[in-house]
């Protein structure tokens, strides 16, 4: 067997944080399907995800533990999706936000440095761009995402890391356990109860989970092909945001059931995102393939 054939047959290794989340779990399934040896990092008190063909590493919260996890996995690419999402925070949430979104991530970066692992796919949020600005965090969660990117920049500049950050908008798909919009709408339709909502003028940018995962895979190949020099950032956007009121009407039509909405019964949230960020570049060779109409139909099949 020649050297080229040996190299092509070498199994790629992935290490994924946030694998128990909606996006992370779908990414893990895709990696396994494509033949990656897939490792995930979980907290010691986490329940083991119901995956097959994956290797689980438990992190006890320390930097030494993280270093050992990365050493054991020896990944070609690290996928960082773990985070604590809070649209609004209270004082009691500060420690958890910093530990989950800043400290954990910095431990991961340091573990990569110690183990000479340099390829990272990071997950950001469009909420880092309130009012469509270059940087204006909608909430403290978005600010912690930016803080991690600032930490990552050090490792890119000083330690030769190669990183791509994918900034996600609203994601959706079948079997989504998160208590998000479609869960609430379906519950209202089933119970025939009236759902109090804002005036519904805010724009929502929805991207189907399969398209989101495809963006991760394209970004990964870009890293492996050595097409970037330092750090890149891309928006994973449908490019077709809709007002919330119109989106509810589409969903109601899709499930063929009326949904009772009391529009304007609730005020807009503090720093409500009325206009979605539309200035982010889109990664080459990616565009959403699943239309919103097809995606909504899939939710009801």
Q: Residue 183 is encoded by which pair of tokens?
A: 């869960």
**pLDDT band (50, 70, 90) for residue 9:** low
> In the predicted model, what is the mean pLDDT of residues 125-130?
98
Q: What is the pLDDT of residues 165-193, one digit of tens each?
A: 999 999 999 999 999 999 999 999 999 99
Among 76, 80, 66, which residue's Cα sits nearest to residue 16?
80
What are the percentages of helix, strand and coil residues in the chain, rounded to 5? Answer: 40, 20, 40
Q: For residues 158 and 144, give the distance between their C-alpha atoms in angstroms, rounded to a whole number.
A: 21
Q: What is the mean pLDDT of the chain?
A: 94
> In the predicted model, what is the mean pLDDT of residues 31-50?
88
Residue 21, class by beta-carbon neighbours within 10 Å (0-12 exposed, 13-18 middle, 19+ buried)? Answer: buried
pLDDT at 301 over 80: no
Q: What is the DSSP letter of 58?
A: E
Q: Give the range among 9-18, 128-137, 237-246 with minimum mean pLDDT.
A: 9-18
Q: Cβ distance 299 to 249 under 8 Å?
A: no
**pLDDT band (50, 70, 90) for residue 45:** confident
pLDDT at 151 over 80: yes
**pLDDT band (50, 70, 90) for residue 63:** very high
**pLDDT band (50, 70, 90) for residue 49:** low
> In the predicted model, what is the mean pLDDT of residues 262-282?
97
Cα separation values, 230 from 62, 91, 120, 265, Å: 28, 36, 11, 48
Q: For residues 75 and 73, give the distance between their C-alpha atoms in angstroms, rounded to a whole number.
A: 5
pLDDT at 51: 76
pLDDT at 46: 74
pLDDT at 104 over 90: yes
pLDDT at 1 over 50: no
This prediction has a pTM of 0.94
User: What domains, with CATH codes, occur in the chain?
Assistant: 12-172+205-236 (3.40.50.720), 181-204+240-276+289-300 (3.90.25.10)
> In the predicted model, what is the mean pLDDT of residues 89-102?
98
Q: For residues 153 and 231, give the distance between their C-alpha atoms in angstroms, rounded to a whole number.
A: 8
């Amino acid at each position: 067997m020649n050297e080229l054939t040996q190299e092509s047959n070498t199994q790629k290794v992935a290490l994924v944080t946030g694998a128990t989340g909606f996006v992370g779990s779908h990414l893990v399934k895709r990696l396994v399907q494509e033949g990656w040896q897939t490792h995930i990092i979980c907290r010691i008190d986490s329940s083991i995800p119901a995956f097959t063909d994956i290797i689980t590493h438990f992190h006890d919260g320390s930097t030494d533990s993280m270093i050992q996890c990365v050493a054991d996995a020896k990944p070609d690419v690290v996928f960082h999706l773990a985070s604590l999402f809070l649209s609004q925070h209270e004082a009691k949430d500060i420690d958890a936000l910093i530990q989950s979104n800043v400290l954990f991530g910095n431990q991961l970066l340091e573990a990569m440095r110690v183990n000479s692992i340099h390829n990272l796919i990071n997950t950001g949020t469009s909420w880092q761009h309130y009012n469509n600005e270059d940087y204006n965090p909608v909430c403290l969660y978005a600010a912690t995402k930016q803080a991690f990117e600032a930490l990552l920049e050090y490792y890119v500049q000083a330690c030769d890391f190669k990183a791509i950050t994918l900034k996600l908008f609203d994601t959706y798909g079948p079997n989504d356990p998160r208590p998000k919009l479609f869960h609430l709408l379906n519950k209202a339709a089933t119970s025939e109860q009236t759902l109090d909502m804002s005036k519904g003028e805010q724009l929502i940018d929805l991207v189907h989970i399969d398209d989101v995962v495809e963006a991760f895979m394209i970004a990964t190949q870009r890293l492996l092909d050595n097409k970037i020099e330092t750090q890149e950032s891309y928006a994973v956007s449908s490019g077709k945001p809709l007002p919330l009121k119109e989106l509810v009407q589409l969903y109601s039509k899709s499930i063929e059931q009326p949904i009772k909405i009391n529009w304007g019964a609730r005020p807009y949230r503090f720093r409500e995102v009325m206009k979605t960020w539309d200035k982010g570049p889109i990664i080459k060779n990616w565009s959403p393939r699943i239309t919103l109409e097809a995606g909504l139909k899939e939710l009801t099949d």
